[in-house]
Structure 1
C-alpha cells in the first residue's frame, strides 16, 4: 500500500487573542497520495491560502503537524529547510513571480544555481519541459515580451525543473484569460497523468477544479465537503457539474466559492 506523500494532521493557525482571535485553520487533517491531483476550494477567508503557505513554510502554524514523506516539516532547519523549499516542493504563483531582468530560460534555470545543480544537468529537463509546455519560442525573451499564458507556463517550468515531490499551485489561472487557463490546466493535468506529478492546487475556478481527481472544500478553517472524480467513467464535464452543484448548495453559487 502506498504511503502518503503529504500528511496534514490537526493543523491550526490562529491570529489574535481571545475575543479578537481569528481561526484561519481550525484542525484540518487530510493526506495527499503520490500522483494525486488535489484541489482546495472555499470562500474568501476560508483558510485555503493559509493552508498552502503553511505547507510551503511561509507561515508557521499555531499547532498540528505537516509531514512530507513522514518527516515533520516544522523540524527542518538550515540546509534541510532550504532543500525542502527548493527541491521537495515547487510553487506556482498566481502572478507568475518571474524576474523581469532574466529571460525565460534564465528564470527556469534559476533554482538550479540556488540549489547547487549544474546547468548541464538541468538542460535536458529544460528542453523536455519547454517542448511539452510549448514555450521554446520564448526561452530568449524577457517576461515583458511574453503573454500572460506564456509567463505562467515559464513559471510552471521553473516550479518543475528540479522534479519536486509536489507542486503547490496558488490560483494558477487567476491572472489568465479563459483560453490560456485551459491550456495551462491541460498541461498540468497531462503531467499528472503521464508522469504522476503530484499537485495540490488552491483555486476559485470551478473549471480549473474539474481537472482534479479530488476536491476538498474548506469553510471557516475546517473541511466541510469532499468530492472525488469517479474514474474512469466520469468525464471532466460531469465532474464540473457536480462541483457547481456543491457550490449551489452552499448558497450564493460559484461567486461564493473563491
Structure 2
C-alpha cells in the first residue's frame, strides 16, 4: 500500500519555501558599486538617467558621462579624466539629484525657475564638469525675462551667481561646476555680482524616495567599493532562512 505524503509536512515545506524565495527576491541586485579586478567601477546615478562614466581605482573617469534628471530639466556632463572624490577624499561612487521645490533666501527681485540638490554634498570634481538647465517659456515665473536667466550656487548662506551661457534658441542655460551642492536656475531684473563658486554644504530640503537608474543600483548609504558589506548581509539572510526551514521541518515531522 502506497503511503500518502504527509499533507501537513508538504504544506509546511511549501510555506517555508515561499518565505525563503520572498526573502531572496527582496535583496537588491547590487548594494554598492562593484569593482573590477583592476579596481575600476561604473559610477551610477540616483534620480538620473543617461550615460554613466567608468571610473578607475583612483576615482578618475576613463570614459565620459552624460547624466540627466528624470524630468529632463538638468544634465551633468562628465569629461574624460575627471577626478570625483567625496568629502573624505575617497572615490565617489554615485551622483544623486533631488528636486528643491522652493529654494529660500533668493536675491532681491529674483525668482527660481528650477533647483536641484546634487549630492552627496562635499564631493568635488577636478577639473570642472558641465551643468545645464533646460526650461520652457511657459515655465518662467511672472516678471522674469528670458534674457535674465542664470545659474546660481548655494554657498551655505546665500546664492552665488555663476558665469552662465544662455541659449535662447534651445532654451538652455549652462555653466561649469567643481563641487556638489544645490544649484538653481534663477531670473529677474536685479543685478547680482558674479563670484567664483565655493565648495559648501547645501540647504536642508524635503526629499522624495530615490530611484536608481543603473544596473548596479544603490541606496544613498554607501558601503565600501568592494561590496563586502552587502555580501555579508546576503549570506546572513540566506543562512537564517535555511535554518528556519530546517527547524520547521523538524517540528512538523515530530508532530506527524
Scaled by the length of structure 1, the TM-score of the pair is 0.23
For the pair shown, the structure with the greater C-alpha radius of gyration is 2
Structure number having the greater strand percentage: 2
